[in-house]
């Protein structure tokens, strides 16, 4: 009989790798112009990356080309918002075996839909629609035609679950938004609170999940080492 060197599964504090698991790597977009100018950045308000955002995305691309850590990726997705699509196009050469994966745009991966608030400045938004308090009531709709926080979390988490079901056993890279990353933590970590976590997810940071028969497992969050190494910032 072979001798077991580690503790039994019921008391082990770290999980062993699961063969055939699906990797889901979430990449926040680089800094966007709407982030800097204070504009509500939906499909109308988002005009793409700032100069700093382009530098951040290029720093991530150089890291991925150097390390090959996402070289086994079989699919590359992005939100349809310009800041995500631009980031995806920049980092794509570092994703997959030969860096030629086509970027698949999917609106379900977008940041929270702002409805009629799209394109306004945030002061204009507050004057017209008030200031919803999602910590008090996450079901409040942001603006007419927009989403609530709870509705957004359900939509974003469902979209990520669909990708895992579509790409079982593969590595899938998704260029998305801080809200989508927070939604994944709320939905996939059993002990996570239902309310907002108010995380500080860095631009172009990597968050990685593993999906298997054991459920969701968080492998890393907010990995932005490339920004420090390249001295990239606003």
Least confident of 16-20, 29-33, 60-64, 211-215: 16-20
Least confident of 9-18, 31-40, 62-71, 193-202: 9-18
Q: How confident is the model at residue 1 (pLDDT cuts 50, 70, 90)?
A: very low
Q: What is the pLDDT of residue 218?
A: 95
Residue 85: HSE in the Cβ half-sphere, 13 Å Cα cutoff: 11
14, part of any domain: no
Q: Report the 10 Å Cβ neighbour count for 32.
A: 27
Distances (CA, A) of 116 to 43, 60, 109, 129, 145: 11, 34, 19, 9, 6
71, part of any domain: yes
Average pLDDT value for residue range 39-49: 98
Number of domains in the chain: 1
CATH number at residue 42: 3.40.50.1240
13, part of any domain: no
Domain residues for the domain of 186 are 22-230
1, part of any domain: no
Q: How confident is the model at residue 224 (pLDDT cuts 50, 70, 90)?
A: very high
For 88-144, the pLDDT digits (tens) are: 999 999 999 999 999 999 999 999 999 999 999 999 999 999 999 998 999 999 999
Average pLDDT, the chain: 92
For 176-191, the pLDDT digits (tens) are: 999 999 999 999 997 7
pTM above 0.95, yes or no: no
């Amino acid at each position: 009989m072979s001798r077991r060197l580690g503790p039994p599964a019921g008391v082990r504090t770290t999980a062993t790798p699961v063969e055939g698991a699906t990797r889901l790597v979430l990449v926040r977009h680089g800094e966007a112009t709407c982030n800097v100018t204070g504009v509500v950045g939906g499909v109308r308000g988002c005009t793409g990356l700032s100069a700093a955002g382009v530098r951040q995305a290029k720093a991530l691309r150089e890291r991925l080309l150097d390390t090959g850590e996402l070289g086994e990726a079989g699919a590359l997705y992005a939100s349809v918002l310009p800041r995500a699509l631009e980031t995806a196009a920049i980092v794509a050469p570092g994703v997959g075996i030969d860096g030629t994966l086509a970027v698949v745009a999917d609106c379900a991966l977008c940041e929270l839909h702002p409805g009629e608030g799209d394109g306004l400045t945030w002061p204009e938004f507050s004057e017209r629609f008030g200031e919803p308090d999602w910590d008090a009531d996450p079901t409040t709709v942001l603006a007419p035609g927009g989403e609530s926080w709870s509705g957004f979390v359900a939509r974003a988490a469902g979209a990520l679950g669909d990708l895992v079901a579509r790409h079982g056993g593969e590595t899938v890279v998704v260029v998305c938004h801080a809200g989508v990353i927070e939604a994944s933590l709320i939905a996939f970590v059993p002990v996570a609170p239902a309310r907002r976590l108010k995380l500080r997810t860095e631009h172009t940071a990597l968050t990685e999940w593993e999906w298997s028969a054991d459920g969701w497992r968080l492998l890393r969050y907010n990995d932005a080492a490339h920004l420090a190494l390249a001295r990239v910032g606003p």
